[in-house]
């Protein structure tokens, strides 16, 4: 999600749900012409950048790397957490070269404050206009949690393309049954119909269409639900 079967889904390039039970250091890796979002769900995650700066990320922490120029970094389980589990979500998006070059940066923020959407649905802005981390691509990421059984329509705005990923629990997206670890892709959908049981948690990420995005079809598209190839446990 995006998967090989679904084909290219720019600017979304890779998506991973990582659970680490031990610290494995593979060294710094690079990002170039990419924007990368990391959202910590459980445990503590250790971040090291190319300048040798070390930061501990905790549940609710957001790491947003905008790499117009090369950035090197590494994410591992925090050493003091050995014997426990850490979980984080990662999304890699391609930065288009034909747009005005964004500033290369590394942002480490907390997710936004929880906002009641209904009496049984709470949304937490992770990246975007209502969050503390800003994306060069206009990426909007939100974490939805259902405290009780509910059916709701999440506004997206036409001309957007995105991914939906189930963090925990069971529910339905556009009437299709989903459970933890499953995801779907969508575009040009004004609202996303979601039904969730108590404890259902859904992560949404979407970007607006630009005038130069010829790859975007004009019609609506919803494709799911399935387990993404990037799941790592």
Looking at 1.10.10.60, 1.10.238.10, 1.20.140.10, 2.60.120.10, the CATH number of the domain 12-110 comes to 2.60.120.10
> What tens-digit pLDDT sequence spans the chain (233 residues)?
555 555 678 999 999 999 988 787 778 899 999 999 999 999 999 999 988 899 999 999 999 999 999 999 999 888 777 778 999 999 999 998 766 788 999 999 999 999 999 999 999 999 999 999 999 999 999 999 999 999 999 998 778 999 999 999 999 999 999 999 999 999 999 999 999 999 999 999 999 976 555 544 556 666 765 665 444 43
As a whole number of angstroms, the distance between CA 5 and CA 60 comes to 32
Tell if the pTM clears 0.85, that is, is over it.
Answer: yes
Write the CA distances from 225 to 172, 174, 178, integer angstroms: 9, 10, 6
Same CATH topology for 12-110 and 115-228?
yes
Domain with residues 115-228, CATH architecture: Sandwich (2.60)
- Residue 88 C-alpha from the chain's centroid: 10
């Amino acid at each position: 999600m995006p998967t090989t079967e679904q084909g290219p889904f720019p600017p979304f390039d890779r998506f991973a749900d990582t659970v680490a039970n031990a610290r494995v250091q593979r060294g710094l890796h690079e990002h170039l012409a990419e924007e990368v979002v990391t959202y910590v769900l459980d445990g503590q995650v250790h971040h090291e950048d190319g300048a040798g700066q070390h930061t501990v990320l905790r549940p609710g922490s957001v790491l947003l790397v905008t790499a117009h120029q090369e950035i090197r970094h590494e994410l591992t389980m925090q050493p003091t957490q050995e014997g426990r589990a850490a979980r984080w979500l990662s999304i890699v998006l391609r930065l288009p070269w034909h747009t005005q070059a964004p500033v290369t940066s590394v942002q480490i923020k907390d997710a936004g404050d929880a906002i009641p959407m209904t009496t049984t649905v709470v949304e937490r802005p992770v990246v975007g206009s209502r969050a503390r981390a800003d994306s060069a691509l206009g990426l909007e990421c939100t974490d939805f949690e259902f405290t009780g059984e509910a059916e709701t329509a999440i506004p997206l705005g036409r001309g957007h393309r995105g991914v939906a990923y189930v963090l925990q629990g069971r529910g339905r997206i556009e009437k299709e049954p989903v459970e933890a670890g499953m995801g779907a892709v969508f575009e040009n959908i004004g609202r996303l119909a979601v039904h969730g049981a108590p404890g259902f948690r859904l992560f949404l990420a979407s970007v607006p269409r630009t005038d130069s995005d010829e790859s975007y079809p004009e019609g609506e598209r919803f494709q799911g639900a399935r387990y993404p190839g990037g799941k790592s446990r």
